[in-house]
Chain A
């Protein structure tokens, strides 16, 4: 089992408050790893630090054989680690198609002179990406909405589009922040089903989720965080029966 992502003693404080207090864990290549924990455990901060939006105070982040701690977000992304946001964030006035195309890698047409002059390489890449974008849109059943701006999508469709963006980017690892937050149960199941496609395409997943049913169905292993540290790690059943985890979620007396 190769370690795709390896965090060692990761620390980050905000205004004197220690949010991450030495996080150690690793994510293996090829599966869906769940990250759970009560509110305020530091899960989203961890995503922010790993994706480069917030530099760590201390500790190291190894990803796919290189240290990425403190790298700018675009470099982290190009190294093959893409993230989504808890409240689906995108580009309100860009269409579904434009969102998907934007996430395509290695686009020669993104250099100024090739944009102006045009080049065969840019045209070919654009056509290849367009084909992929259509394929992904159909897979997510967003093809009927392909020219709609993101602001016209429902919350669930935005979440599906985030998965589409991750597929389009072909990363090695994608960090999903609550892929089913605020989504109805039917669409929740659909999102879960679509998520299973990611590892099949060689994309490993680390996801934050509060829906335990969803975690139980999809994730193995599960990592539990509380108060800025890893509390437990393992299969869902084992983790659920861990007394420390029960205490963190329910409080001492209930446990």
Chain B
């Protein structure tokens, strides 16, 4: 039971990272990334390959995942700059599918649908049964660092420009802001965070395969961010953990219903999740923690430090 809770807490942390990643661009700059699972996969594969086939240390794998995710994000945004904004969503969706299909078919590199097994975990042999709690601490530490980072961006002049771009990119440009630079940087950073989450996932599970990176993950993260509150890092984080809680508890709830088949149970679980999200958005349209407008600093209280 303890291991199960640790598993949920760790997965919740990884979803939390993905939610922060999505919130940065979606809540921040109004860009939609339907290919989150693809960037997640890029990071997972980059780190897994470097540490298994490449025999590199795990930290090097994580660093590569960050870089690979960021570069992939940069390529995707820069290739869509001449298109209208909704096309970014379509391109990212396509990107995730391409990543999955490449992983499934470039067997020489990714071992295809067999997946990559034996991905090393940090100090796994020495820790034995303590591996899970230690890994949870690592994930939470990374989550904490990323949270502080995105919240600082959120509250900075940089974040203000991102919001302006979200509201009206053309007016932001007329206000003198190089919109493309802001979009490309933010998207790359967001994709790098997703890549890092992928790497953390790979070394936690010790096994990855193409069908672990289905678009459903992306949808879940959208639910988490929308339910928790777009435009607010804390909301995204709360949303991710609530989603995890919901996904897991739905499993137990449907078990209680007698006389239905396993397939029906699975369908019912999805239905339950949908109903909860609709209720949340009906009762709290801005999510559980809606975006707040920061108060202007009052001049009287503005003492010199």
List residues of chain A with CB under 8 Å of any chain B CB: 51, 53, 72-74, 77-78, 82-83, 85, 89-95, 97-98, 101-103, 105, 107, 109-112, 114-116, 118, 122, 126-127, 130-131, 133-134, 146-147, 149, 165, 169
Complex: how many Å from CA A114 to CA B159? 11
Name the prevailing secondary structure of the B interface residues: helix
For B14-53 the 0/1 string (1 means CB < 8 A from A) is 0000000000000000000000000000000000000000
- Given contacts A112-B153, A116-B149, is CB(A91)–CB(B174) below 8 Å? no
For B286-305 the 0/1 string (1 means CB < 8 A from A) is 00000101111101001000
> Per a CB cutoff under 8 Å, which of A78, A90, A116, A130 touches B152?
A116
A131 to chain B, nearest CB (A): 6
Given A93-B293, A101-B160, 18 extra CB contacts under 8 A: A73-B174, A74-B176, A85-B171, A90-B168, A95-B296, A98-B164, A102-B164, A109-B156, A109-B157, A110-B157, A112-B185, A115-B152, A115-B156, A115-B158, A116-B149, A118-B152, A122-B156, A134-B296
In the complex, which residues of chain A have a beta carbon less than 8 angstroms from the beta carbon of B125?
Answer: none
For chain B, the bracket of interface size reads 20 to 34
CB-based contact A111/B158 at 8 Å: yes
Using CB atoms, name the residue of chain B closest to A89. Answer: B171
CB-based contact A127/B167 at 8 Å: no
Complex: how many Å from CA A94 to CA B177? 16
Using CB atoms, name the residue of chain B closest to A96. Answer: B296
Is residue B179 within 8 Å, beta carbon to beta carbon, of the partner chain? yes
In the complex, which residues of chain A have a beta carbon less than 8 angstroms from the beta carbon of B293?
Answer: 93-95, 98, 147, 149
CB-based contact B176/A82 at 8 Å: yes
Is residue B163 within 8 Å, beta carbon to beta carbon, of the partner chain? yes
A and B contact pairs by CB, cutoff 8 A, 7 listed: A53-B170, A74-B176, A85-B171, A93-B291, A97-B296, A118-B152, A130-B296
Is residue B161 within 8 Å, beta carbon to beta carbon, of the partner chain? yes
User: Which of B255-300 touch A at CB < 8 Å?
Assistant: 291, 293-297, 299
CB-based contact B296/A147 at 8 Å: yes
In the complex, which residues of chain A have a beta carbon less than 8 angstroms from the beta carbon of B297?
Answer: 130
Is residue B5 within 8 Å, beta carbon to beta carbon, of the partner chain? no
CB-based contact B177/A74 at 8 Å: yes
In the complex, which residues of chain B have a beta carbon less than 8 angstroms from the beta carbon of A122?
Answer: 156-157
Is residue B173 within 8 Å, beta carbon to beta carbon, of the partner chain? yes
- Given contacts A85-B171, A94-B293, A146-B296, is CB(A112)–CB(B160) below 8 Å? no
In the complex, which residues of chain A have a beta carbon less than 8 angstroms from the beta carbon of B223?
Answer: none
A214 to chain B, nearest CB (A): 24
User: Which of B170-202 touch A at CB < 8 Å?
Assistant: 170-179, 185-186, 189
CB-based contact B175/A102 at 8 Å: yes
Instruction: Give the one of A78, A91, A98, A118 with max B CB within 10 A.
Output: A91
CB-based contact B152/A77 at 8 Å: no
Complex: how many Å from CA A85 to CA B172? 13
